[in-house]
Structure 1
């Protein structure tokens, strides 16, 4: 009978065997327990103070020129030179120029307003620097005088044959028979003068006129043949204005 052999030392581990064939898919397992939401670690804001700014670097070389921009609108012409030292005499001269310009503006405004008023009278005649206009109204002397004054004119004062003929044409055009002139003998009976009292430099009285019939004829009319006649100022005659 053999005696028992004592166990020997363990041998070296053998090499892994080849993978066996893949097994069949097993049944699904039971659901696991609900997990917890973990907070992500977000890096904290760095509250450390900023360092001092460094020194400015050297200026780099100039870059290439850019494309030309759109051309702008032309500006107003400026003064030929800048007056740096303005004295009291210069200021006085400027004020005089300003006052002169203001006077010209006022005269232009007055002329424009008068032109607008004159246009209210459709029919007219130009003689030299004068314009005679009528709108066909028939008024007494005082009403006619006021109407012309409000329009910036006056009743006509013919001082030449040409001016008298222009008035005669307007009387014929309106077929009114006669129109008032500006002259009266208010200053001295029988001596007819212009509104400012000056003596007449031209007249075209009809034969036997003025005769101051019944002592009431202090105004003058021009009739369709161009002749003058003295008439009562309250009579109604065509209104012609001189501008």
Structure 2
């Protein structure tokens, strides 16, 4: 009984409170609050429409970020107008003149080299001539070698010379002097290999001067086809071409 009276008083009090509040304001309403557990939240409503765009704000005071990678190159632009022509350069040297100057320098270098070689050759020539004897346009030089007629002739030819073929007494005396120095008879460039008894110089020239020893030439044993000069008396003697004799060269 006591509990029922308490519940009835609570309901009546609540109703009186709501009526008073309704009379004070027409807008506010009063809902009877029932006792019990709260209900579940409903689904969220739809987003509202975007509002008007606001004004641009001030630039921030933060540090500038790093520059990004460059983008792709754009299409080439239109060709610009031609620039102002530059000043005319100095006139160059003609090609032919330059080539001629180069050629002349090369020729001069060759001439200098030739003169140096010629001087060196003359020096050697003088040294060689001191060991030989000169008569007129001929110079006779001993090789100090003892060889056969064929070997000696080849040695002289390699030096641009030949075995001696005296054309007068003076040339014969010069050859004799070199033979005496070598203490050996020396081959002359005279033979009758082609025709027995017909002596000629090896170059085919006729022998215009002779100085045979008495009784010579005699072609002893039929093998004496070359000629030697005897150092003691400068006389000639026919001799075997295969024997060894002093080799003197005539330049």
TM-score, L = length of structure 1: 0.51
Contact 1:160 1:202 in 2 (8 A): yes
Structure 2 equivalent of residue 133 of structure 1: 141
Note if contact 1:117-1:152 (Cα within 8 Å) is conserved in structure 2. Answer: no
Which stretches of structure 1, 4 residues or longer, exceed 2 Å deviation after superposition?
112-123
Q: Name the CA shift for 1:212/1:129 in 2 (closer, same or farther; >3 Å).
A: same
Counterpart position of 1:166: 174
- Corresponding residue of 1:229: 237
Q: Which runs of 5+ in 2 are unaligned?
A: 1-106
Please show how residues 49-198 of structure 1 align to structure 2 within 5 Å: 123-176=131-184, 178-198=185-205
Alpha-carbon displacement from aligned partner over 1:56-100 (angstroms, at most 9, x marks no partner)? xxxxxxxxxxxxxxxxxxxxxxxxxxxxxxxxxxxxxxxxxx9xx
1:239–1:118: structure 2 CA closer, same or farther, 3 Å change rule? farther
Secondary structure, in 3 states, of the residue corresponding to 1:132? strand
Distance 1:117 1:220 in 2: 29
- Partner of residue 24, structure 1: none
Conservation of the 8 A alpha-carbon contact between 1:126 and 1:132: yes
Residues 1:207 and 2:214 aligned together = yes
Is residue 129–residue 139 contact of structure 2 (8 Å, CA) maintained in 1? no
Take 1:114 and 1:143, find their aligned partners in 2: how far apart are those partners?
A: 28
TM-score by length of 2: 0.50
Count of aligned pairs between the two proteins: 142
Does the 8 Å CA contact 1:180/1:221 hold for their aligned counterparts? yes
CA-CA distance at 1:175 after TM superposition: 1.4
More strand by share: 1
CA distance in 1, matches of 2:248, 2:123: 16
Q: Which has the higher helix share?
A: 2
Indicate the residue corresponding to 1:27 in structure 2.
none
Q: Which residue of 2 aligns with 1:66?
A: none
State how far apart, in whole Å, the 1-side matches of 2:132 and 2:121 are: 18
1:115 CA displacement: 8.5
- C-alpha distance 140-124 of structure 1, shift in aligned 2 (>3 A): same
> Is the 8 Å Cα contact of residues 167 and 209 (structure 2) preserved in structure 1?
yes
Structure 2 CA distance for partners of 1:114 and 1:137, relative to 1, 3 Å = farther
Larger Rg: 2
Q: Distance in 2 between matches of 1:149 and 1:114?
A: 20
Would the alpha carbon gap of residues 115 and 135 (structure 1) be closer, same or farther in structure 2, given more than 3 Å must change?
farther
**1:195-242 C-alpha deviation (Å, 9 max, x unpaired):** 132321100000010000011000000011100000000110001000
